[in-house]
Structure 1
Amino acid sequence: MNLEVKKFFAQSEYLDQMVLRPLSHIDQNWELIRGNDGYLAEEGNLSAHLINLIDVLASTEPPKKYHDNEDRLAEYLVSMGSKIQKEGRYWIGDDYGFVLQQASLAHQLNHEELIFSAAGRVMAAIKHKQRMFDEMEEGHQAMLAAILTILVFNYGTWIHGTHS
């Protein structure tokens, strides 16, 4: 278990607001409860799923190029008829978070791509001396939050797969 990853998320002021609050229509009890060493899981709500996801990310070997994982998702969506296209390093034609969400919903295996992408984004932030979620560059923070929200929302489909 990578403690650096766990510390990256511990005691964040923004994590629950950015990841769980967008799902408040599903679970009105979306706020994380802070403990001495991180967060306390409340069984039966989305915060427990996020805490479990952080554990998964801490035990996942991050890819060297997390954008490759995201590109595979976007390419999968193109193969299904999406009109998005890549210009340089960027996908255009739709909101990038929406692209990742739609591609991940299209096929359960794509959740692994999101897990690897999230793990890679966390390690990239740490390498750039952004030691916690709240210190991330705003655009990267928003994208990581969107990926985590997708994974929390789809918790049941990926937790029972290879990361159970």
Structure 2
Amino acid sequence: MEQQILGFFEASDFLEHEVLRPLSHIRPGWELFVDPTTDRYKDEEGTFAWLFNHLITRISKSTPPDKYHDSEDRLAEHVQTSLNWKISKHRGIWRNASGHRLTPNDYLVTLEQGGFKIDGIEDLIAAASGRVHAALQYGQRHFDDMERGHQVILAGVLAAILYHWDPIEPEIRKLEV
């Protein structure tokens, strides 16, 4: 399964555009290069390459939750209670104060903000892992093959993780040594 997940994240302009370009205000180098000797993204200054490789490895070695929506629900519940956002879940769908389904952007902002809770990043990683494993179960072997709605949410979750990891990259690197 680990190799399948690594393959899921093989180089793709679309993957970089969806996950890394939204973070270009933090690190301008959102277009990555693949190192032909390792088949991984080349660690270059001003990019998220090292963190993205680290994230892909974490996902490839993780056991997905039985229900990845549970991880996402914990993040949304944190935002609901701790930040007093007027959102609620009805029949499995998160809704805003007026009862309308959260737009994909609003849902992603909710998950990103939920990532600030203790263990929030772990919930984000579990959600990403669950979404990747679900895609593979449905025969979607690469990010580019995903159904568009799920692709948007996965890209946003991955970007949220990288956003949270950005300020602590030096500490994460030390743990990898």
TM-score norm. by structure 2 comes to 0.83
Q: Which residue of 1 aligns with 2:44?
A: 42
Select 2:114's aligned residue among 95, 103, 112.
103
Q: Which residue of 2 aligns with 1:118?
A: 128
Q: Which has the higher contact order (CA 8 A, sep 6+)?
A: 1
Aligned-partner Cα distance in 1 for 2:118–2:71: 14
In structure 1, list runs of 5 or more residues that go unmatched.
none
Q: Deviations over 1:83-127 (max 9, x none)?
A: 10112121111510011011112x241110000000000000000
Aligned-partner Cα distance in 1 for 2:162–2:48: 7
Please state if 1:82 is matched with 2:85.
yes
Please state if 1:133 is matched with 2:133.
no
- Give 4+ residue runs of structure 1 displaced > 4 Å after superposition: 156-160
**Contact in 1 for aligned 2:40/2:53 (Cα 8 Å):** no
Larger-gyration structure (1/2): 2
In structure 2, list runs of 5 or more residues that go unmatched.
97-101
1:25 partner amino acid: H
Shift of 1:49: 1.1
**Contact in 2 for aligned 1:31/1:47 (Cα 8 Å):** no
Q: Which residue of 1 aligns with 2:7?
A: 7
Aligned-partner Cα distance in 2 for 1:52–1:29: 17
Q: Taking every aligned residue pair, what percent have the same amino acid on both sides?
A: 40
Q: Deviations over 1:36-90 (max 9, x none)?
A: 4342222553122111111111111111110010011111112222210112121
Select 1:68's aligned residue among 67, 70, 82.
70
TM-score norm. by structure 1 comes to 0.89
